[in-house]
Structure 1
């Protein structure tokens, strides 16, 4: 699943992302596309123990791949 958060003002991208993660099962992955690096989201993902990787995109946005771990 990919969630495109471009054009949204904080905290909408983070809220949409966490809501989607809450509905997922352990081991499932999600990709999000944000206008900026989601620094506060990284903190939340780390606290929850989720794996994540950020790739800068050519248009200046960032694609973050998140894998839900635990439950």
Structure 2
């Protein structure tokens, strides 16, 4: 199975990877093409029993994840932002705006 997450912002690549891994059968491999070296998700994949390999190819990164007999199902919780902005003006904090 192949997945292209180039240009996507976190946490979307991780969510797509986890969803795709749920469709794999033991021995099957997911190949993911990305802009970054997948450093945030690698420890989780290895801890869950997946065989993991990352290579840099032509300025992009290729993550190969193989499901083993010992692989455990992964999940990721995404929390909704509870910050609310009543009004956006010149004094609005940009970080709070992006979070909202």
TM-score w.r.t. the length of structure 2 is: 0.66
CA deviation profile, 1:37-69 (whole Å, cap 9, x unmatched): 1112101111111001111011x2100111011
1:1-71 → structure 2 map (5 Å cutoff):
1-58=1-58, 60-70=59-69
Aligned length: 70
Q: Which structure's relative contact order is higher, taking Cα pairs within 8 Å and 6+ residues apart?
A: 1
Give the structure with the higher percent helix: 1
> Greater Rg, structure 1 or structure 2?
2
TM-score, with length taken from structure 1: 0.90
Give ranges in structure 2 of 5+ residues lacking alignment. 72-100
Bigger share in strand: 1
RMSD of aligned alpha carbons: 1.0
